[in-house]
């Protein structure tokens, strides 16, 4: 038997009203969701989160070596190179949480290169290499670049050095003092000395110049020039000079 059901006009009007209300609520919810995502996007544009990455030349080091690195500073979820911050602070922190080194590296369109010379007297152990910008300090430190490095010290000479500068009529001279762990002076020993002159600026022509004083003692001396270019490539040149009386 076939049953026929009829819906009264009042019920039809009620169903239509309910469907209209449901459609309105869905529309309002969609608009609220769209507004929420627009607010998130606007917040990301007005408060860009910078991130740092340091590309190192090695994974571990020995006291007396140099840590060479290239810096990438990016912003946003797409990790675009940042043009905001102009300086990066790089710290080398020991196991005692003391800063063994703190240097400032300039940024050019989100890129920078730098190096940290490790003294040969540096205590062996695990160190943290941490980097950040002033803008990043407005947020939590979780956005800082932070990496643990193993730094060894294979010295067997047990020699401590101390240098002082003494002015002379010719300009000045360095005084070098050598002592062992017992602070006893070391005498009658041949010594190789390296002088470092940082921050030599290369002109647009690709050339530069610098001055230095030769030793008062005759002999053969070696000049070594090394560094990083703006692309992070390492270069090194050396030349021997002979000093006579």
The two structure tokens encoding residue 183 = 């602070």
pLDDT at 173: 67
pLDDT at 106: 92
pLDDT at 241: 79
pLDDT at 77: 77
pLDDT at 98: 86
3-state secondary structure of 234: strand
pLDDT at 43: 47
pLDDT at 204: 72
Place of tokens 């921050």: 199
pLDDT at 91: 94
pTM of the complete model: 0.50
Domain boundaries, the chain: 12-47, 50-152, 157-191
Domain 50-152 has CATH 2.60.40.1930: yes
Q: Give, for all 245 residues of the chain, the pLDDT tens digit.
A: 555 555 566 655 666 667 766 776 666 655 655 555 565 455 445 557 888 999 999 888 988 889 999 999 998 877 888 888 899 999 999 888 888 889 999 999 899 999 999 887 788 889 999 999 998 888 777 888 999 998 988 665 666 666 676 777 766 666 777 777 667 887 777 666 666 655 667 777 777 777 766 667 777 777 777 776 666 666 677 778 788 87
pLDDT at 28: 60
Q: Where are the beta strands (DSSP E) in 98-199?
A: 99-106, 111-117, 125-132, 145-152, 159-166, 173-180
The two structure tokens encoding residue 56 = 């190192």
Name the residue among 215, 221, 219, 226 with its Cα closest to residue 239: 221
Say if residues 50 and 75 touch (Cβ distance below 8 Å): yes
pLDDT at 40: 45
Q: Is 158 left (phi over 0), alpha (psi -120 to 50) or beta?
A: left
């Amino acid at each position: 038997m076939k049953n026929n059901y009829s819906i009264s006009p009042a019920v039809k009007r009620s169903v239509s009203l309910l469907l209209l209300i449901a459609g309105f609520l869905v529309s309002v919810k969609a608009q609220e969701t769209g507004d929420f995502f627009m607010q998130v996007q606007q917040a990301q544009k007005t408060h860009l989160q910078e991130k740092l990455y340091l590309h190192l030349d090695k994974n571990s080091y020995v006291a007396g070596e140099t840590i060479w690195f290239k810096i990438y500073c990016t912003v946003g979820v797409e990790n675009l190179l940042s043009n905001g911050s102009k300086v990066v602070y790089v710290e080398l922190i020991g196991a005692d949480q003391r800063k063994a080194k703190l240097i400032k590296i300039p940024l050019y369109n989100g890129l920078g290169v730098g190096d940290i010379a490790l003294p040969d007297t540096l205590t062996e152990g695990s160190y943290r290499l941490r980097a950040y910008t002033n803008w990043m300090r407005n947020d939590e430190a979780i956005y800082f670049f932070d990496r643990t490095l193993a730094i060894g010290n294979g010295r067997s000479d047990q020699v401590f050095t101390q240098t002082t500068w003494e002015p002379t009529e010719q300009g000045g001279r360095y005084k070098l003092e050598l002592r062992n762990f017992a602070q006893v002076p070391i005498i009658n020993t041949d010594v190789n000395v390296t002088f470092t002159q940082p921050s030599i600026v290369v002109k647009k022509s690709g050339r530069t110049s610098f001055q230095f004083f030769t030793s008062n003692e005759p002999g053969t001396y070696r000049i070594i020039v090394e560094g990083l270019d703006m692309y992070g490539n390492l270069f090194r040149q050396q030349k021997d000079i002979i000093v006579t009386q």
